[in-house]
Amino acid sequence: MVAIDLTGRNALVLGVANHRSLSWAIAQALHQAGARVCLTYAGERLRPGVEELAAKLEGATTLELDVTHDASIAAVHDRLARDWGSLEILVHGVAFANKEDLEGRFVDTPRQGFMMALDVSAYSFLSVTRHMLPLLETNGASLVTLSYLAAERAVPSYNVMGSAKAVLEQSVRQLAWELGPKKIRVNAVSAGPVSTLAARGIHGFVGMQKHHAEKAPLQRNITKEEVGSAALFLLSDLSSGITGEVLYVDAGYNVMGA
Ligand code: NAP
């Protein structure tokens, strides 16, 4: 087995809400591989929980980061520039849409709800990457964001979040092209349904999980740890020749036609 050693690498991980978060599984995998980890939380309400989780990863730090505010992103950049001086790993596990926009008809999505979902769930990847660029360029870096099959298929109730994921995946390809010369790789993990805070906001999520387990070639749902190890691969040198890709971690569900 090839060991993954991320000793000496700095990792910024966005999107840890609690112990169920996919970003938490990725943070744990990065820590186990030796990376120095900084977890961010979106607001004061989440701070105690995220600090409690960070305490489980020796040497991990926490910072507030609300992706809808450029000043908040800039403050994180300034702090990491001062404390670390470089960033080799960036994990973007952030998404949000109004609950009512994930229940009704897609055609009824109001402008404000559409813009908000795309801002938090897709534009934020660009914005955070741009702000962190001076740090990412220092030694080269690997970036991973989290997507879902609704980026390219119609999925009941996923509505505007599918639109956001489509933009997110296009952004992965465009950023990969643009940042490749700077030795910055950009990829996405497209995860099958995992029970998290965000996922439970999708109307009919439990039925969706059941359907995936019945139809997927592996005949089961995936675990967040499987997302963690796939992301670890993409964030390490084992994937040094890979950029602009969407890696499915969905027990094979996406290959099915009928
Ligand atoms: P999660 O634990 O609820 O994580 C979502 C995170 O996004 C939360 O930490 C949330 O913070 C954060 N967030 C929302 N608005 C933010 C803002 N303005 N600034 C900063 N952070 C903000 O759910 P998750 O399932 O692990 O989601 C992580 C990613 O995986 C998402 O992109 C999701 O679409 C994707 N994904 C999930 C699944 C699944 O089935 N779970 C499958 C495929 C892809 P708050 O709690 O404060 O809002």
Per-residue pLDDT for the chain (258 aa), expressed as one digit of tens each? Answer: 568 999 999 999 999 999 999 999 999 999 999 999 999 999 999 999 999 999 999 999 999 999 999 999 999 999 999 999 999 999 999 999 999 999 899 999 999 999 999 999 999 999 999 999 999 999 999 999 999 999 999 999 999 999 999 999 999 999 999 999 999 999 999 999 999 999 988 888 999 999 999 999 999 999 999 999 999 999 999 999 999 999 999 999 999 998
Phi and psi torsions of 183, nearest 5° = 60, 35
Between CA 160 and CA 190 the distance in angstroms is 17
Furthest-apart CA pair in the chain: how many Å? 53
Mutate to test the pocket of ligand 1, among 50, 196, 250 (most ligand atoms within 8 A of CB): 196
Between CA 213 and CA 256 the distance in angstroms is 12
Active site residue 253: no
CA–centroid distance, 146 to ligand 1, in Å, is 9
CA–centroid distance, 198 to ligand 1, in Å, is 5
Residue 23 alpha carbon, nearest atom of ligand 1: 26
Model pLDDT for residues 56-92, shown as the tens digit of each residue: 999 999 999 999 999 999 999 999 999 999 999 999 9
